[in-house]
Amino acid sequence: MNPEQALDRLTQCGVVPANRLIIALTRHCNLTCNHCWLTSGPNSSLKHVDATLLKKTLSLWVDAGVQTLCLSGGEPLTHPRWQEILTHCAQFPSIHHLRLQTNGTLLTPKIVNGLTNPVFANLHLQVSLDGAQPATHDLVRGKGNFAKTMNGLQLLSDAGLGPRTTVSFTEMAHNFEELPLLFPMMAELDIGHVVSGTLIQGGRALARALDLPSPKQYANLIERFSHDAQLRAVYKKIGNTSCLEWYASRRETSEHHCANCMESPYISEEGTLFPCGLLSVTNYGIEGVWNCSVASVAQKAEVRWAGLNALSRQRADNIQGCMACTGRLHCQGGCMARLARQTDNFLAVEDRCRLRKQVYALPALPNL
């Protein structure tokens, strides 16, 4: 069976073929962030992926139709051959979007200058920043790292890479109120996008008892957004944050289900393929995919993942808390992959339910 036939069979089972591949170059990281659900860190026992195997595997997936590659970690820049791997990815004519995720602390003038090479014309960078002030960011990422990340962002901006850079903000109770400050800060650096998503309560986040924002914090941001014309203007240019997007589309019916499996699969540093980065749990892992044909991987996925899409579609109709919710058709039961960090019951309520309900319950506000 060739890759096209195998992927066609997956489609018949309700599994969406891969368009975007996320691949971890390493589990190693130069930081030990308190909210890291992968528990990455500067541990010598966490090995890097063999670059030769990785490049062969990437080529197989690109040949099978993947058009977007995302290099992740750990911290990708700790891999001794990350630049070679990145260059290999950039040379595929069919790759329309190449993304490098980084905490930004290891960026140097030399590295950033190298990223301006025309071979990286389709490269986009995603830099993690979890506060608008040093104390806030450093509370979860370690003392002095706000300054290092801001220095990296300044280097990217000075090199003309700002418009191709996305700042990724993890929403937590302690930092959420700084989000409105972050949009104008990044706009001044000519950063292309600022996106935020709620904390994943897994890994170190559980051990450090970090909290999601409160429903009141969500409501306050939406109300501020309604009355602050400058914030609305900069957000329209570069912003995307959960509660504002939920509010804007709260009366719409969503066609998206979080188990569009294999549309955006994730390969761990150990060579295990998962339906997505969040659903990286043992029950759904397909081991040994380095330099393995996509057809054979797809055949294993057909057995392991075929029921996930249907299960996702059942959530809104089977979760008691969804029945009377005004946002039921928009939320569709939420993202069941988030539950994988907390329970084996995929028909349980996900952890953002109370936040969504607060957004859906808000009245119509001016300018929104």
Band the pLDDT of 34: cuts 50, 70, 90: very high
Band the pLDDT of 366: cuts 50, 70, 90: very high
Overall average pLDDT of the 170-183 stretch:
98
Overall average pLDDT of the 279-291 stretch:
90
DSSP 85-133: HHHHHHT-TT--EEEEEE-STT--HHHHHHHTSGGGTTEEEEEE---SS
Band the pLDDT of 306: cuts 50, 70, 90: confident
Position 8 pLDDT exceeds 80: no
Band the pLDDT of 7: cuts 50, 70, 90: low
Overall average pLDDT of the 98-110 stretch:
98
The whole-model pTM stands at 0.94
Position 167 pLDDT exceeds 60: yes
Residues 18 and 262: beta-carbon distance below 8 Å:
yes
Quote the DSSP letter at residue 258: T
The answer, yes or no, to whether the previous bond of 271 is cis (omega within 30 of 0) is no
The pLDDT of residue 196 is: 97
Strand order in the sheet with 165-171: 239-241, 193-198, 165-171, 123-128, 97-102, 68-72, 20-24, 266-267, 273-274
* Residue with the larger pLDDT of the pair 294 and 58: 58
Domains and CATH numbers, the chain: 3-248 (3.20.20.70)
Cβ neighbours of residue 224 under 8 Å, at least 6 residues apart? 180, 231
* Residue with the larger pLDDT of the pair 167 and 350: 167
